[in-house]
Structure 1
Amino acid sequence: MKPRCPPALIDSFGRHIVYLRVSVTDRCDLRCNYCIPKGFKNFEEPANWLSHDEMARLINLFAQLGVRKVRLTGGEPLTRRGVAELAGRITAIRGIQDLSLSTNGTMLARHAAALKTAGVQRLNVSLDSLDAVRFKEIAGRDCLRDVLAGLEEARRVGFSPIKLNCVVHADTPEAELTRLLGYTLANGFTLRLIETMPMGSAAQKFQPANLSFMGEKIAARFGLVPALDTGDGGPARYWSAGDMPALGVITPMSRHFCASCNRVRLTADGTLYLCLGHEQQVPLGRLMRQGANDDLLTQHILAGIAAKPEHHHFNSTPRRIVRLMSQTGG
């Protein structure tokens, strides 16, 4: 008898969906000028957030269908209580091989040890500037010192790799990026430069930079060499220092990677989004609270994956998506 093949989520374009990004809240303690508009208050009501039990139930269904990687995101996930406890539950789910977390780092020093103990394996930390004045202009708060303390604590408790995510637009000073890369090399981190995407009114005010060109330029300045493709379906292209990836670029605008997209997103209220650049969604949270059993939820997940779009249309219709990145999940 042939061994039973593991389940797989495969969309209509042959892409294997193995990665689920789960937003535990759409709220954030920062107001980055490319993400949340000043004065924005239209956040999801906490009563509509999935409970940890509900999140674990849905993640388990995705794992049964072949999802192997989960990332906890927001908003800022550490603003919600019990994230470490949720992480522990996720790592116990059969089939989940990789659990990571994205954070702005403001509360990381307080939670790093508990997250590590719970089984979070990797961290992505947003860091757009090492200049305190510029950091405050971007983030809306004077808390660069808190973020740097969080990074130090995360390294102390053993997180590796730690990736720093820097959102770049056409007006971002190149000197800012070279300073960030010097910092990451000195501390053993990995810097990832990310082109802005026109999601919501805040992001649509910024013209994206072409990081395909800028990444090569900065890498050459530091003597970095192109890294081999890891084959994990991730969106970043890397340059290395020795055997360590030091600089990556994520280029959804200048050189999109939709053909290899292996991920979907679950919002805080349980809405499944198939693509950042489209509105297709599956209301798994609402269905669950209406009494849907696991078989019915699985059918809706499979139908959603089958309808996953081939690619985004950010370049041709840049004002198409009005929802914020924080509402979808980073």
Structure 2
Amino acid sequence: MTMVILPVLQDRFQRVHKYLRISVTDRCNFRCVYCMPTTFSGFLPRSQVLTFEEIARVVRVAAGLGVSRLKVTGGEPLVRRELPALIRSLRSAPGIEEITMTSNGVLLARYARELKDAGLDRINVSLDTLKPERFDRLARGTGTWQDVLAGIEAARAVGLEPVKINVVSMRGVNDDEALDFARLTVAEGWHVRFIELMPFPEEQNQDCHGGGLDGAYLPTDELRARIEAAYGPLESAELPGNGPARYFRVPGAAGSIGFISPVSEEHFCARCNR
């Protein structure tokens, strides 16, 4: 197929956009406390969700405008049936150089090999705690903490690397595990990214440990200070990708520690190319 080259996607700030996020579904098998409002009124009718053919058409047009990298998201993308077939179709679009995905990991062990064979390059997995009971309270969904760990290991085994672990850090909820996650970058070579909690309107606050998430916001600079108090100064590190994370490494660690700071970082969106 011949790709028609059109003018590049450039905004009024002179940023050239080469990265497209594709939400393949709004459905999810989790009801995470910081994501799903208690007043949630339901998912979109399936008739309003883009078909695979429509998604592929959008990607072909975007590729003609200079987009070369895709991020597949949801909801939880793996609840969309036949997702590997979509990945394979998108991979065949002229100009597409990389496809990555974000997942909660529960179904990942089942699909990791098929996704890799279809052309997926890398994956991010959301995991906010290393404690099974806490996981159940935070995720409020089907599947278990053990399922997510199995998914992470399956992704690493088939080469969907580096697997990046996304941790939404919440004061008084899971911030006591920051050093445990940091330790895994040394012991297991994990690539962990701490993400600041995004504020929601008061009516969307979720029940967590018997109360809402008021006061749960924790700046990443404070997390970094805690980690450096235990491990010493972190070294700068680089990982594949174009995201907003700033990466560091405990000296000698095979893994890395990333910080994503949408609240505390001034001009957080200035470098965005999505």
TM-score normalised by structure 2 residue count: 0.86
What residue ranges of structure 2 are gaps of 5+ in the alignment?
Answer: 207-211
CA distance in 2, matches of 1:25, 1:145: 24
Report if the CA contact (8 A) 1:170-1:206 is conserved. no
Letter in 2 for 1:120: L
Q: Which residue of 2 aligns with 1:183?
A: 184
> Match of 2:171, SS?
coil
Q: What is the 5 A alignment of 1:249-268?
A: 249-256=259-266, 257-263=268-274
Question: Aligned ranges for residues 102-121 of structure 1 at < 5 Å?
Answer: 102-121=102-121
Q: Give the 3 Å change call, closer, same or farther, for CA 222–119 of structure 1 in structure 2.
A: farther
Q: In structure 2, how many angstroms separate the alpha carbons of the residues matched to 1:177 and 1:117?
A: 34
Structure 1 position 213 matched with structure 2 position 219:
no
Q: Percent identity?
A: 39
Deviation at 1:8, TM superposition (A): 2.1
Q: Using the TM superposition, give the Cα deviation of residue 151 of structure 1 relative to its aligned residue in structure 2, in angstroms.
A: 0.9
User: For residues 62-121 of structure 1, what are the alpha-carbon distances to aligned partners after superposition, in whole Å with 9 as ceiling and x for unaligned?
Assistant: 111111110100010000101111111111111111100100000000000000101111
CA distance in 1, matches of 2:241, 2:105: 25
Q: CA 1:231–1:83 in 2, change beyond 3 Å: closer, same or farther? A: closer
- Partner of residue 235, structure 2: 226
How far apart, in 2, do the equivalents of 1:12 and 1:21 lie? 20
Over aligned residue pairs, what C-alpha RMSD do you find? Answer: 2.3
Shift of 1:222: 2.9
Is the CA contact 2:128–2:174 (under 8 Å) kept in the aligned structure 1?
no
Deviation at 1:50, TM superposition (A): 0.5
Partner Cα distance (2:152, 2:237) in 1: 27
| Amino acid in the other structure paired with 1:198 | P
Distance 1:75 1:158 in 2: 24
Higher RCO, Cα 8 Å, sep 6+:
1
Residues 141-160 of structure 1 aligned to structure 2 (within 5 Å): 141=141, 143-160=144-161
Matched, 1:130 2:141: no
Query: Which deviates the most, 89-98 or 166-175?
Result: 166-175
How far apart, CA to CA, are the structure 2 residues paired with 1:26 and 1:206? 26
Any stretches of 5+ residues in structure 1 without a counterpart?
264-330
TM superposition shift of 1:247: 0.3
How far 1:162 sits from its partner (Å)? 0.3
CA contact (8 A) 1:18 1:68 kept: yes
Match of 2:32 in 1: 32
Matched residues in 2 for 1:180 and 1:249: separation? 13
